[in-house]
């Protein structure tokens, strides 16, 4: 069994789409550990705020199988991939970590570099797994969060919506 960390985000019908993702992930993998939800402004474009969280599942499914499941969930939420990386979206589910696998090449790109670049990924991950060791840096997620500094992109906790 591998511990798999997934980042979830939405800024279009966010509460409904995040609930859909959580429901489908529970159907596929059973019990989930779910972080608090955070609101943040979009980066790189104007649009509604995003709601973001991280979940962890324990699974025997391989990383490529996880990516297939993610694409099915995206389709359920009505997500279509266009050429513009920075745009509003009904749902974005990212494979952040799969055990301690390091594979920087597509399609995996593990660990996902967003972990250390964006507070909306790092903070909820630190909430549920502060002692988790990043497989590249060798430092804990909690240490990375304590040293993270991005005052220009604040996060606001969102009351329980799931």
Q: Which residues belong to the active site?
A: 79, 89, 92, 94
Residues whose CB is less than 8 angstroms from the CB of residue 60 and which lie 6 or more positions away in sequence, other chains included: 1, 2
Instruction: Quote the crossing angle between the two packed helices 14-29 and 63-76, to the nearest 10°.
Output: 140
Distances (CA, A) of 77 to 12, 73, 107: 10, 6, 21
Phi–psi pair at 74, nearest 5 degrees: -55, -45
Q: Helix %, strand %, coil % for the chain, to 5?
A: 30, 25, 45
Residue 141: exposure state from Cβ atoms within 10 A (0-12, 13-18, ≥19):
buried
């Amino acid at each position: 069994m591998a511990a798999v960390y997934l980042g979830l985000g939405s800024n279009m019908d966010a509460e409904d789409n995040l609930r859909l993702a959580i429901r489908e992930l529970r159907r596929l993998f059973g019990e989930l550990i779910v972080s608090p939800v955070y609101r943040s402004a979009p980066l790189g474009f104007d649009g509604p705020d995003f709601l973001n969280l991280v979940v962890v599942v324990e699974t025997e499914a391989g990383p490529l199988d996880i990516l297939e499941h993610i694409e099915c969930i995206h389709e359920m939420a009505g997500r279509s991939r266009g050429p513009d990386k920075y745009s509003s979206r009904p749902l974005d589910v990212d494979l952040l970590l799969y055990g301690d696998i390091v594979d920087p090449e597509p399609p995996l790109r593990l660990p996902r570099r967003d972990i250390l670049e964006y507070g909306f990924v790092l903070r909820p991950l630190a909430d549920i797994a502060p002692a988790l060791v990043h497989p590249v840096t060798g430092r804990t997620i909690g240490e990375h969060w304590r040293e993270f500094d991005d005052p220009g992109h604040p996060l606001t906790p969102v009351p329980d919506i799931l």
